[in-house]
Chains A and B, each alone.
Chain A
C-alpha cells in the first residue's frame, strides 16, 4: 500500500496552482484524507500532486450577513468549531459532527469533501440543501461560480474540470424563521452514513410551514434533494403530518444494496430519518423563533 511515483509541486499562489494543475494534469492535494488512501491502494496514480497547503489565505472563514464563505483550506474541524458560522447556520456544525472522526476532520477540508463528491459525504448534501456555490479557477478560463444544483454529477464526479482549482465555497444562510437538522445512521461512530438526511423547514409568523426540504446521502449517485413543501405547506408546525413527505422521498431515491445494507433497509432508514429530521428541524425553527 505505497503510492506509485508522482511529482510533487508546492505552489504559493492560486494562479500558480492552477497553472501547475493544467500543465501536469495532476491532482490537487488538500487534506489528503481521501486522496492519499486511494493513491496508497493504487486505485489512483496521478502523475503529479499540486499541494494547496502552502497557498496563503485559503483557510479563512467569513461570516457575512448572507452567507458563510470558506476557503479551499478550511478544515472540517475549523468550520465545526467556528461559533459565528454556527450562530448564522447551525446546520454546518450539526452535519460536520457526522463527518468521519475528529482526527480526520483536523486535516480534511470541507471544499475537498465537496469536490470529492462522495455520495455518502455530508457536506455536499448540506451545500445542495442550502443552494450553495463553489468558486473555481482555471489558468485558461479564469474564474467561475458553479451552483450546487449543477455541481454534483455522479458518484465521485463533480462539474469541476480537471484543470480547475476549487478555491472557495459559499453556504447561504437559511432564511429567517427556519430550522435545520441532520439525522444519520452509520454502522460505527464516524463511519460514512448508511443513510443521512439534512433538513430545512421554514415557518411563517403563524408558525405555518412555508417551505420544507430534505437532502439525503447514500441513497443515490449524488445527494438527493427533495422539496417536500407541497406535502406540508400551510399546516401549523404542531399539526403537521409528514407521511406524504416520506412518500415523496421514497419516490425520489434509488438506493443500492451493498455489503452493509440492503436497498430495502436503506429505504426504511430514509423514511425514518426523514421523519426524524423534519421533526427536529421544525422543533429547531420553533426554538429559534422563541429565542
Chain B
C-alpha cells in the first residue's frame, strides 16, 4: 500500500537544498552579466531641472547611462495601472525613469550600466542632478489637508473615494442603546524579504529571444508586461523565477521599473545585464504597507450585540497607485471578521503622499481591519463590564448560518460570502489553550510578585484562494517519474512538497518520483501568481484535477495492456495492477512508453513495455482520434469565489512597571484553513506570520521625517524582530473543509500576521488599564502614554 501523504507532516523536499547553501537566487546567476545601479532621488518631491553626466563619462568600466530621454517606444509611457477600479478616479503610475518630476525619495532618475556594481555605483556618485524642490506631502494628515499636492492634477491628493453600505448604519447606530467612537491608527511597515528584488536579462540574437530571470511572485504576468513594453512578440520572451528569498507581497507588483529597464538595456547592448537591489534601495524604492487612520462609530445593545458600525478611514497609498485599491478594499470588507455588524457602512479615501508606493504586504489591509473590529469588541466589553470573549461569542456568525453573505463586494469583484467556519468552536479551543478562564488568578499571583500582566484576544476571517484560475501540467516519463508544473511562483513556502503530496496520493506514486516546477514560463504559460494565500487552493486543486486526468489515461492504457477493465485497476507505488492481484501489473513508466507509438528502445523500460504492446490495428491510426501521444495532461481550476479561512489569537504580555518593556509571555493560535495538506508547513506559515505580526505590533515602522526622508532605511534601525524577539507559539487546529474546491482546503499563508497588532494591543491595554489606539507601540511610547495618563 502506498501511504497517504495528504495530511502528513512530510518533511519539506526543498529544505536539504536550501539549508545547505544549494539554493540559486537571482544574484547567484549571471556572473557574466553587466551590472546596473540607479541614480535615485534624494528628495521627496522635486522637479528635475537637469541631469549632467559629463563628470562620469571617463570612469573605466562604464558601459552606458540612460535617462528618460533615452527611452523609446512604449518604455516612454507610464507603467501600467494593474488593477483599475471605477472608484480609482485619479490613479497615477510612475515612469520607468522619472520624466520631469520625482515623487518620493528613491525614485529612479538614471540607470547606469557598467562592468560591475562597484563601478556602476562610482558612476552614480558622479552624475549631477539639478532639482527644483517642491513641498513634500508626508503623512495622512498632511495629505488630507490638501494644502500641498503630490500630483498637481489630483485635487486634495485623493486617488479614490469608495463607499459600501449594508443596511442603514447611521439609523441603526442612532437607535442603539449605546454608542461610542474610536480613532485608531496603524503605521507603515513593509514586506522586507531578506532577498530584495533582482532582474537578469539575456537577449539571444541568434534565437531572437529574451530570457529573463526575476525575483517575482508572478513570472507569467512579467512576461506579458515585458513583451508589451519592449514591443516583442510574446513567444520570444520567457521569464523564469529562480529561488526567491521571500516576497510577502512586494514582488507581486509588476512590472517594476527595473523589470522593464534591465531587459531593455540587454536588448540594446546585446549583452546580459543584471540588477540586484540592495537593502537601502529596497527601503526607498520598493513598497510599504499598513499606514491607515480610522474613525469608527458604533452602536450596541445592553447585551453587547453590535447594531450598527460606521467606519471612515484614510489609506496612505504613497506616490503612485500601480496596484489599485486592493489594500483598502480588503480592509473595508475583511474588517468584519467573524462578526455580524448589524448595519455596516464603510467609506475610505486613498491618499497620495510623497513616500514609497503601497502594495499588499502579507495580510494586505486585514491587520488594520482586524485591529479596528477587535478594538470595537473590546470597547463594548469594557463599557458593559462583560468578558471580552462573551461579547465576541454574542456577535459571531453561527456555523448554521454558513454560507454567510455579508452583502458586500470583495477584492476579487465577487460577493463576500463566507463558505464555512465554526467560530464558537474555534474560540472555545483558544480559551482552553490559553487558559482564559484561569487568567484572573494568574494575574493576582503575578501582581503579588510586583509583576503586571495582561491578556488579549483577536479573531479574523481571511479571504484566501482568490481566482481567477491556476493550472497544472503533469507528465509521467518513461522511467516512471512524474514531472509536475504550475505557473505560479514559490518564495520558500514549501510548494514543491505540498504539491507533490497531492500528486502522490492522486497518482499512487511515491514522493521521491515527483518533481515540481513553479514559476517558469517555459514550462507553463497561463498563471496568475502567488499572493492572497492562494497556492494550495488554486494550484493544489489544479494539480489534483490534472493528476486525475492523467491517471484516467494511464488506467485506460494499462487496462488494454493487462486485458482488464479500468474499474478493476488501482495504482500502487507506481504500478498499475488488478485490484487484489498484484501479480498482474505494469509500472507507470511502461504505461508511458505504451502511450507513445514511436517507441525506440532507448532504455530497458521501453524494451520491457513491448511485451504489453498490443498488435497494431490497421483500421485506426497509430494515435487515434481525440487521443494524444504521451502520458501527460493539463487542467485548470477556477473557483466561483474565494474561500474564507479564519483564526483566533490570544496573547499574554507582561509590561515592566519601571522600564515599560513589553514582553510576550504566551502566544496562542487556533487556526482553521480547512483541510490541512501538511500540518508542519501550515504551522511554519503561521509561525512566520506571527513573527511579522509581532514585528508590526512592537518593532517595525517606517520613520519618515516631514521632508520625506526615511530615517531608518537599514536593518540597524528598522527593527525587524530577530528569533530572540519572537515568542514560542502554541497552535491548535480546527478543520472545517471548504465546499468550494476538490481538496476542501483554504489558504494559510497570510493568516499568522493578521491579528497580531489587535491581540497585542488588547493585552497591553489589559495590563495597563488604559486604551491603546495606535500601533505599533514601543516601550518609549508606552512610557509616554503612562505619563499622559498619570497626568490626567
**Chain A interface (Cβ < 8 Å from any Cβ of B):** 1-5, 41-42, 185, 187-191, 194, 259-262, 264-265, 268-269, 272-273
| Given A41-B280, A188-B719, A264-B783, A5-B724 contact (CB < 8 Å) | no
A260, B724: Cβ atoms closer than 8 Å: no
B783, A268: Cβ atoms closer than 8 Å: yes
B residues 682-709 near A (Cβ < 8 Å) are 699, 703
**Chain B interface (Cβ < 8 Å from any Cβ of A):** 117-118, 121-122, 125, 278-280, 658-661, 699, 703, 711-712, 714, 717, 719, 721-722, 724-725, 778-780, 783-784, 787
B125, A265: Cβ atoms closer than 8 Å: no
A259, B711: Cβ atoms closer than 8 Å: yes
A262, B780: Cβ atoms closer than 8 Å: yes
B122, A5: Cβ atoms closer than 8 Å: yes
- Bound together, the chains give a CA A247 to CA B719 distance in angstroms of 32
- Bound together, the chains give a CA A187 to CA B721 distance in angstroms of 9
| Given A2-B118, A4-B122, A187-B719, A268-B659 contact (CB < 8 Å) | yes
Can you name 21 A-B residue pairings with CB atoms under 8 Å?
Answer: A1-B279, A2-B117, A3-B118, A5-B118, A42-B125, A187-B699, A188-B699, A188-B719, A188-B722, A189-B722, A189-B725, A194-B779, A259-B711, A260-B717, A260-B719, A260-B778, A264-B787, A265-B660, A265-B783, A268-B660, A272-B658
For residue A249, give the distance in angstroms from its CB to the closest CB of chain B: 15
B122, A261: Cβ atoms closer than 8 Å: no
- Bound together, the chains give a CA A1 to CA B661 distance in angstroms of 34
- In the complex, residue of chain B having the shortest beta-carbon distance to the beta carbon of A40: B278
A265, B784: Cβ atoms closer than 8 Å: yes
Which residues of A sit under 8 angstroms from B117, Cβ to Cβ? 2
- In the complex, residue of chain A having the shortest beta-carbon distance to the beta carbon of B280: A1
- In the complex, residue of chain A having the shortest beta-carbon distance to the beta carbon of B705: A259
- In the complex, residue of chain B having the shortest beta-carbon distance to the beta carbon of A276: B658
B780, A2: Cβ atoms closer than 8 Å: no
Which residues of B sit under 8 angstroms from A259, Cβ to Cβ? 703, 711-712, 717
- Bound together, the chains give a CA A66 to CA B642 distance in angstroms of 73
- Bound together, the chains give a CA A189 to CA B661 distance in angstroms of 13
For residue A33, give the distance in angstroms from its CB to the closest CB of chain B: 12
Q: Which of B121, B125, B659, B787 has the largest count of A CB atoms less than 10 A from its CB? A: B659
A264, B659: Cβ atoms closer than 8 Å: no
- Bound together, the chains give a CA A268 to CA B280 distance in angstroms of 33
Given contacts A187-B779, A188-B724, 16 further A-B contacts (CB under 8 A): A1-B278, A1-B280, A4-B122, A185-B659, A188-B721, A188-B722, A190-B724, A260-B778, A260-B780, A261-B779, A262-B783, A262-B784, A265-B779, A265-B784, A268-B658, A268-B660
SS of A interface (majority)? loop
For residue A182, give the distance in angstroms from its CB to the closest CB of chain B: 16
Which residues of B sit under 8 angstroms from A262, Cβ to Cβ? 780, 783-784
B125, A187: Cβ atoms closer than 8 Å: no
Partner of B780, one of A42, A190, A265, A273: A265
For residue B778, give the distance in angstroms from its CB to the closest CB of chain A: 7
Which residues of A sit under 8 angstroms from B280, Cβ to Cβ? 1, 41
B122, A269: Cβ atoms closer than 8 Å: no
- Bound together, the chains give a CA A1 to CA B121 distance in angstroms of 8
B121, A261: Cβ atoms closer than 8 Å: no
Which residues of B sit under 8 angstroms from A260, Cβ to Cβ? 717, 719, 778, 780
- Bound together, the chains give a CA A80 to CA B278 distance in angstroms of 33
Which residues of B sit under 8 angstroms from A190, Cβ to Cβ? 722, 724
- Bound together, the chains give a CA A265 to CA B703 distance in angstroms of 18
- Bound together, the chains give a CA A29 to CA B371 distance in angstroms of 49
Which residues of B sit under 8 angstroms from A273, Cβ to Cβ? 659
A269, B659: Cβ atoms closer than 8 Å: yes
Which residues of B sit under 8 angstroms from A191, Cβ to Cβ? 719
Q: Which of A188, A264, A273 has the largest count of B CB atoms less than 10 A from its CB? A: A188
Which residues of A sit under 8 angstroms from B787, Cβ to Cβ? 264
- In the complex, residue of chain B having the shortest beta-carbon distance to the beta carbon of A263: B780
Which residues of A sit under 8 angstroms from B699, Cβ to Cβ? 187-188
- In the complex, residue of chain A having the shortest beta-carbon distance to the beta carbon of B116: A2
A188, B703: Cβ atoms closer than 8 Å: no
For residue A237, give the distance in angstroms from its CB to the closest CB of chain B: 22
User: Closest 5 interchain pairs by CB?
Assistant: A189-B724, A265-B780, A261-B780, A1-B278, A2-B118
Which residues of B sit under 8 angstroms from A188, Cβ to Cβ? 699, 719, 721-722, 724-725
For residue B667, give the distance in angstroms from its CB to the closest CB of chain A: 17
| Given A264-B787, A268-B659, A4-B778 contact (CB < 8 Å) | no
For residue B116, give the distance in angstroms from its CB to the closest CB of chain A: 8
Which residues of B sit under 8 angstroms from A265, Cβ to Cβ? 660, 779-780, 783-784
- Bound together, the chains give a CA A236 to CA B783 distance in angstroms of 34
- Bound together, the chains give a CA A278 to CA B780 distance in angstroms of 23
B121, A42: Cβ atoms closer than 8 Å: yes
For residue B123, give the distance in angstroms from its CB to the closest CB of chain A: 11
B724, A272: Cβ atoms closer than 8 Å: no
B778, A187: Cβ atoms closer than 8 Å: yes
Which residues of B sit under 8 angstroms from A189, Cβ to Cβ? 722, 724-725
- Bound together, the chains give a CA A262 to CA B780 distance in angstroms of 6
- Bound together, the chains give a CA A272 to CA B699 distance in angstroms of 22
For residue B504, give the distance in angstroms from its CB to the closest CB of chain A: 40
Which residues of A sit under 8 angstroms from B659, Cβ to Cβ? 185, 268-269, 272-273
- Bound together, the chains give a CA A41 to CA B125 distance in angstroms of 12
- In the complex, residue of chain B having the shortest beta-carbon distance to the beta carbon of A266: B780
- Bound together, the chains give a CA A194 to CA B714 distance in angstroms of 17
- In the complex, residue of chain A having the shortest beta-carbon distance to the beta carbon of B712: A259
- In the complex, residue of chain A having the shortest beta-carbon distance to the beta carbon of B59: A5
- In the complex, residue of chain B having the shortest beta-carbon distance to the beta carbon of A271: B658
Q: Which of A1, A3, A42 has the largest count of B CB atoms less than 10 A from its CB? A: A1
For residue B276, give the distance in angstroms from its CB to the closest CB of chain A: 10
- Bound together, the chains give a CA A41 to CA B283 distance in angstroms of 14
- Bound together, the chains give a CA A204 to CA B85 distance in angstroms of 79
Which residues of A sit under 8 angstroms from B722, Cβ to Cβ? 188-190
- Bound together, the chains give a CA A3 to CA B278 distance in angstroms of 13
- Bound together, the chains give a CA A185 to CA B42 distance in angstroms of 34
- In the complex, residue of chain B having the shortest beta-carbon distance to the beta carbon of A189: B724
For residue A100, give the distance in angstroms from its CB to the closest CB of chain B: 11
For residue A189, give the distance in angstroms from its CB to the closest CB of chain B: 4
B121, A2: Cβ atoms closer than 8 Å: yes
- Bound together, the chains give a CA A1 to CA B280 distance in angstroms of 8
| Given A188-B724, A259-B703, A272-B658, A4-B125 contact (CB < 8 Å) | yes
Q: Which of A5, A187, A194 has the largest count of B CB atoms less than 10 A from its CB? A: A187
- Bound together, the chains give a CA A261 to CA B783 distance in angstroms of 10
For residue A267, give the distance in angstroms from its CB to the closest CB of chain B: 10
- Bound together, the chains give a CA A4 to CA B125 distance in angstroms of 9
Which residues of A sit under 8 angstroms from B658, Cβ to Cβ? 268, 272
For residue B304, give the distance in angstroms from its CB to the closest CB of chain A: 37
- Bound together, the chains give a CA A194 to CA B719 distance in angstroms of 13
- In the complex, residue of chain A having the shortest beta-carbon distance to the beta carbon of B723: A189
- Bound together, the chains give a CA A188 to CA B699 distance in angstroms of 9
- Bound together, the chains give a CA A272 to CA B657 distance in angstroms of 11
For residue A103, give the distance in angstroms from its CB to the closest CB of chain B: 12
- Bound together, the chains give a CA A3 to CA B783 distance in angstroms of 40
- Bound together, the chains give a CA A178 to CA B734 distance in angstroms of 59
For residue B757, give the distance in angstroms from its CB to the closest CB of chain A: 17
For residue A197, give the distance in angstroms from its CB to the closest CB of chain B: 12
- Bound together, the chains give a CA A188 to CA B783 distance in angstroms of 17
- Bound together, the chains give a CA A268 to CA B660 distance in angstroms of 10
- Bound together, the chains give a CA A5 to CA B121 distance in angstroms of 10
Which residues of B sit under 8 angstroms from A42, Cβ to Cβ? 121, 125
